Structure 1
Amino acid sequence: MRVVVLSLAVLLGSAVAQHSFRFPSSTLSQIRPIAGFPDSRIASGPVRSSGLGPIRGSSSQVGLRQSSSGSGDPCRPTPCGPNTSCSVNARGIAQCKCLDNFVPDGNTINGCKPQCVSDFECPDDYRCRQTKCERVCVPGACGLNADCDARNHRAVCTCPKGYAGSPEVSCNKNLPVVRANPPAPPPDPCFPSPCGDGAECRERDGRAVCTCPYAYEGDPLTRCTRVECVESSECPTNQACQQQKCINPCTIPDICGRGSECTVRNHQPVCSCGRGFTGDPFVACRRFDPQELCQPSPCGANTNCRVENDRAVCSCIDNYIGNPLEGCRAECVSDRDCPGDRTCRDNRCVNPCAYNACGENSYCDVRNNRVTCTCPQFFQGDPHSRCFAECTEHDDCSSSQACFELRCIDPCVGACGTGADCKVENHKPICSCPKGFTGHPFESCRPFTEADLCNPNPCGTGADCTPGHDRSGESRPVCTCPIGDIGNPLVSCQRGECQSPNDCAAEETCHAYHCQSACFTETGSVCGELADCTVRNHQPVCSCPPGYSGDPLRACYTAATSRFASSARFSAGRT
């Protein structure tokens, strides 16, 4: 919503803050002798200065000033000083120029002043004519062929050598004529001047007449002194020149109305109603009601006016746009008045998607002023009411299904290889080859052969696998350790400790690929009872010790033990 604040001075011209009016002609007649008052509206706002210095010269530009009054015309009220004209340049800036025969007076605030008011304000070879210094010796100042010499601001005409005549009229070349004592020219009563300081001397009937020049006063026979002022620019800025005296213009009786305030600005009296008052400051001021700022409303059509801090604030009514000072308008009356991605709603171009044009979880798109509602990928439902996902996790589906891309599907579809069986357990596909088939179930299954019993090798490390059968006749792999290896063929096979007795120590022999004592095994001595065992060439040699007899592989005994053994055998036979 665009809000514009108008100051009191802009709205009413003569309201709460400052008020300025054109002086009535009756009042102007009272102060017309005050030099420097232009016949224009007397400004109540502060003088605005661009900071540019004056440009010297008659009828020259004094300076440029940026207007801050907010009135629209930078020259009303005029920001220029006395003896100036105000115009607006192409950039909307007030441009001040000196009037003809006036020159800048210091700066843009002081305005312009006459170039001169008497001859004494000009160089010796110049004189003051119509407030402008002009050369004394100009074409036509003397007669034909005459010489002109400037003295004391006056032209002295003489005929050059060899010429004669009236130098003010014409000088002619001398002819060889003999004259007797030509008459002497009459004396100039003003040369030298008999007048006092600052006085002017003029010849009249052969006599010198002394007068004080314009803007000077006193006895011309003794001394002429300058008056206090001729233009207001010669006075302080809070005074004006009246009857050649600097006075406060606010002291002029009835210059302002009852209850008004008078201030001097740039030598000019400014009448205004103070803060909180309004009215005609040249007649009377009354207390101001702030609500008057909006009565009548200074705003444009379709706007609201409210008063804030003694200012009128203009704003567009709801759903209207524009400059509230000029008038507000509806942004749209139909969708065609809006861009393609907007629609018209309550006379405003809005994004319809911000007003729930589509259903929950749906996508909203506006093209060519039309709304298109769609459900996101893998969602289902009506996009104008609600879009939803069938699942977000496996537990949202039955145990024989799985959640994939927000939908419940059969996880076995495409999960297993060719010829494989698939079943679902806890939402996961389980692939296996059917009975009588083998292979990689995630790639392919094929009919089973005996060669498949050992491919891959199901036996332990280093063991050999050969197809075989169990006791029931079923085909089974048979695992064995290679010759020379030992170990559990279902676990691993390792190379044996020895392959022959020579691989063992002298008292050892090689048994089941292990080096062990040749005379002893896990069950005891390899020789008979009481027999001695010695090792020869890794082989056990059994013998009965001395005094013993018998079979050393079975037992050795003495004669006594032999009878006892025979009796024992006899008793055992009878029994």
Structure 2
Amino acid sequence: MRLFVVGLAVLVGVASAQHSSSGVSPIRGSSDGFRRNTANIDPCRPTPCGPNTRCDVNTRGIAQCKCLDNFVPDGHTINGCKPQCVSDFECPDDYRCRQTKCERVCVPGACGVSADCDARNHRAVCSCPDGYSGSADVSCSKTLPVFRAAPPAPPPDPCFPTPCGRNADCKERDNRAVCSCPYGYEGDPLSSCVKAECLKSNDCNRNEACQQQKCINPCNIPDICGRGAECTVRNHQPVCSCGRGFTGDPFINCRRFDPQELCEPTPCGVNTNCRVQTDRAVCSCIDNYIGNPLDGCRAECITDRDCPGHRTCRENRCSNPCAYGACGEGAYCDVRNNRVACTCPEFFQGDAHSKCYAECTAHDDCRSHEACFQLQCVDPCVGACGTGADCKVEDHKPICSCPRGFTGHPFEACRPFTEADLCNPNPCGSAADCTPGHDRSGESRPVCTCPIGDIGNPLVSCQRGECQRPEDCAAHETCHAYHCQSPCVTETGSVCGELAECKVRNHQPVCSCPPGYDGNPLIECRTASVSRFHAGRT
């Protein structure tokens, strides 16, 4: 029972001291253990020992952990040392707790001079022995007999022989034998004392503790934790905590946790908002303030001069004024030296502070004699034609032409017309010759002809003829209009007279009347009549 009570008292002390921050009683873990001393290294720095210990270096350079006065090892000194006790109930019945250490109750000076001391419930009970009187807490003195008599015989020792059971202790009290089981034993001292189930918590399972030499669940001890708290056993020690969704002192009372308490009082700095999100307090700067919300927020600016040159101050924040409609619709917005400059894009019209617009985006947006150029309705003839050319607008398009009596490229230049211009460029067919001439009305016109020796339509094309003289043709042909053809036939018919015969000799036609015919073969041949001869006449 003594060791369990000590451990339990340590747990409650630590848990109570740390409850205010977490609501759970933590268990302090073990230290890192001994470290071997090496050259130029103090094995006690850092100390390998647990709490309530001191670290000494032995002659072999090894760190040794020793408990401080009035402390005992907590398992071993690497884990640390703990008080042997914090209350009398953690000590045997004939001991009491004094400065965290169990000491015997009946020590010299516990009772008066010559007084007997008997330990009961961790307290000294003082009494004067037989034949003595007085105040047992101060002094006992012999009682003087009224008359002298022979001293009585010493009373017999009631514990010899012992009337107690096996393994029991016997003590004489008021001439009576008092039987009790020694420390670490339990049972009926009059019959038999047996070894207790446990002497310390380490003799039990990790989820049990030793109390009154019995392994028990320490969480079953009445009022071990506060109202509404949860109790779990860790390494033989009861751990009190407020469950999920609860808060408070687990040794006094746990209550349901209101998440809004995370912001009451607020953990945030000045000029901030606190809101609860997923069981956490989330800090944020109030609108238009900047900074670390845990430390505090401030206004980014008060005037435009507090901002960079390309920003202005808007509701305590440096912002781009162009994003808030500082300029008109369709206008360019630029910020220089904390000032806004509004301009309309090139070729746009309007007021940059209200609206910029294009006069046109297509030709149909303009009047029929105008065209849309660079988003403006303009006269399309301006600069469209060459020097001296005429320009007229049809369906928003400029039509360039040279005036009557002029010639040239209307997109470059027009000049007065000359007869040489009739044939430049050549309006005739391929390979045809052009010469200035006049038509029937006297107007100047180009005259197209094929070169000598060529044939074809001079308005379309001229090509080399088959011949230029009769000798260029076969013997029965002649050369006519640069074509080799029969000389007996023309476009209108035979070159000879009616019913006449035609033969070719040396490329020339020879006409004759056939036999039985007479007449002029170049005109007509007719059937010959019977000849009549008269004297003197042929």
TM-score higher than 0.5 here? yes
Change (3 A) 1:276 1:441: closer
**What is the aligned partner in structure 1 of residue 66 from structure 2?**
101
Residue 462 and residue 531 in structure 1: after superposition, are their counterparts in 2 closer, same or farther (change >3 A)? same
| Paired residues of 2:25 and 2:241 also in contact (CA < 8 A) | no
Cα distance, 1:514–1:276 mapped onto 2, change above 3 Å = closer
Does 2:35 align with 1:56? yes
- Equivalent residue, structure 2, for 1:399: 368
Question: In the alignment, is residue 280 of structure 1 matched against residue 224 of structure 2?
Answer: no
Task: State the Cα deviation string for residues 108-142 of structure 1 (Å, max 9, x = none).
Answer: 9995258xxxxxxxxxxxxxxxxxxxxxxxxxxxx
Q: Distance in 2 between matches of 1:84 and 1:368?
A: 69
CA contact (8 A) 1:35 1:241 kept: no
Shift of residue 397 of structure 1?
Answer: 1.7
Deviations 1:307-327 (A, max 9, x none): 455544444333333444333
Structure 2 equivalent of residue 208 of structure 1: none
- In structure 1, give the amino acid aligned to 2:249: D
Pick 1 or 2: higher relative contact order, CA cutoff 8 A, min separation 6.
1
Pair 458,50 (structure 1): closer, same or farther in 2 beyond 3 Å = farther
Any idea what SS the aligned residue of 1:468 has?
Answer: strand
- Code of the aligned partner of 1:544: C
Question: Could you tell me which residue of structure 2 aligns to residue 384 of structure 1?
Answer: 353
Structure 1 250/322 Cα, relative in aligned 2: closer, same or farther at 3 Å? farther
Identity of aligned residues (%): 73
For structure 2, the residue ranges without an aligned partner over 5 or more in a row are 37-42, 55-62, 68-74, 82-183, 186-194, 533-538
Counterpart amino acid of 1:56? R
Residue aligning to 2:171: none
Residues 265, 82 of structure 1: alpha-carbon distance in 2 compared, 3 angstrom cutoff = farther
The letter of the residue matching 1:504 is C
State how far apart, in whole Å, the 2-side matches of 1:448 and 1:274 are.
113
* Residue type at the aligned position of 2:375: L
* Structure-1 residue corresponding to 2:437: 468
Q: Offset of 1:300 from its aligned partner?
A: 3.1
**Segment of structure 1 superposing worse, 44-53 or 256-265:** 44-53
1:503 matched to 2:498: no
Compared CA separation, residues 515 and 47, structure 1 to 2 (3 A)? farther
The answer (yes or no) to whether the contact 1:302–1:316 under 8 Å persists in 2 is yes
Task: State which of 390, 412, 417 in structure 2 corresponds to 1:443.
Answer: 412
2:429 alignment partner AA: G
Give yes or no for contact 2:268–2:283 (8 Å, CA) kept in 1: yes
Residues 358-405 of structure 1, C-alpha deviation per residue, up to 9 Å, x if partnerless?
A: 111112222333222211111111111100001111111222221111
CA contact (8 A) 1:417 1:445 kept: yes
Offset, 1:243: 9.8
Partner of 2:270: 301
Structure-1 residue corresponding to 2:395:
426
Verify the 8 A CA contact 1:316 1:322 in the aligned structure 2.
Answer: yes
Equivalent residue for 2:232, pick from 263, 281, 294: 263
Q: Which moved more, 1:439-448 or 1:284-293?
A: 284-293
The match for 1:535 is: 504
* 2:301 paired with 1:332: yes
* TM-aligned CA distance change 1:368 to 1:237, over 3 Å: farther
Secondary structure (helix, strand or coil) at the match of 1:560 reads: coil
Aligned residue pairs total 394
Q: Deviation at 1:233? A: 8.2
Distance in 2 (CA, whole Å) between partners of 1:413 and 1:48 is 97
Give CA-to-partner distance per residue, 1:14-48, whole Å, 9 cap, x none: xxxxxxxxxxxxxxx99557697697534665979
Secondary structure (helix, strand or coil) at the match of 1:546 reads coil
3-state SS, counterpart of residue 422 of structure 2: helix
Relative distance call for 1:457 and 1:277 in structure 2 (3 A) is closer
Query: Equivalents in 2 of 1:51, 1:498: separation in Å?
Result: 132
1:112 partner amino acid: N
Q: Is contact 1:36–1:83 with CA below 8 Å preserved after alignment?
A: no
Residue 302 of structure 1: CA displacement? 2.9
Structure 1 residues 284 and 398: alpha-carbon distance in aligned structure 2, compared to 1, 3 A threshold: closer
Counterpart selection for 1:513 from 478, 482, 493: 482
Residue 46 to residue 414, structure 1, CA distance change in 2 (3 Å): farther
2: CA distance between counterparts of 1:46 and 1:501?
141
1:486 counterpart letter in structure 2: I
Q: Give the superposed CA RMSD.
A: 4.3
Matches of residues 165-564 of structure 1 in structure 2 within 5 Å? Answer: 238=207, 250=219, 254-265=223-234, 268-308=237-277, 310-560=279-529
Matching residue of 2:89:
none
Whole-angstrom distance in 1 between the partners of 2:273 and 2:469: 121
Q: Can you list the C-alpha shifts for 1:304-363, whole angstroms capped at 9, x where unaligned?
A: 344455544444333333444333333333333333333222223332222212111112
Does the 8 Å contact 2:500/2:525 carry over to 1?
A: yes
How far the C-alpha of 1:254 sits from its partner, in A, is 4.8
CA distance in 2, matches of 1:286, 1:474: 122
Q: Distance in 2 between matches of 1:391 and 1:273?
A: 77
Separation in structure 2 between the aligned mates of residue 50 and residue 485 of structure 1, nearest angstrom: 125
The CA distance in 2 between the partners of 1:289 and 1:409, in whole Å, is 76
Q: Secondary structure at the match of 1:329?
A: strand
Q: Is contact 2:31-2:78 (8 Å) kept?
A: no
- Write the mapping of 1:75-90 to structure 2, written as runs, cut at 5 A: 83=52
Q: Do the aligned partners of residues 234 and 30 (structure 1) sit closer, same or farther apart at CA in structure 2, a change above 3 Å counting?
A: closer
Distance 2:316 2:439 in 1: 93
**Contact map agreement 1:109 1:266 (CA 8 A) in 2:** no
Q: Aligned to 1:529, what secondary structure does the other structure show?
A: coil
- Secondary structure of 2:345's counterpart equals coil
State TM-score, norm by structure 1: 0.58
The 8 Å contact of residues 438 and 447 in structure 1, kept in 2 or not, is answered as: yes
The verdict on how the C-alpha distance between 1:409 and 1:457 changes in structure 2, with shifts beyond 3 A counting, is same
User: Which residue of structure 1 aligns with residue 141 of structure 2?
Assistant: none
Aligned partner of residue 318 in structure 2, secondary structure: strand
For 1:99 and 1:333, the matched residues in 2 are separated by 66
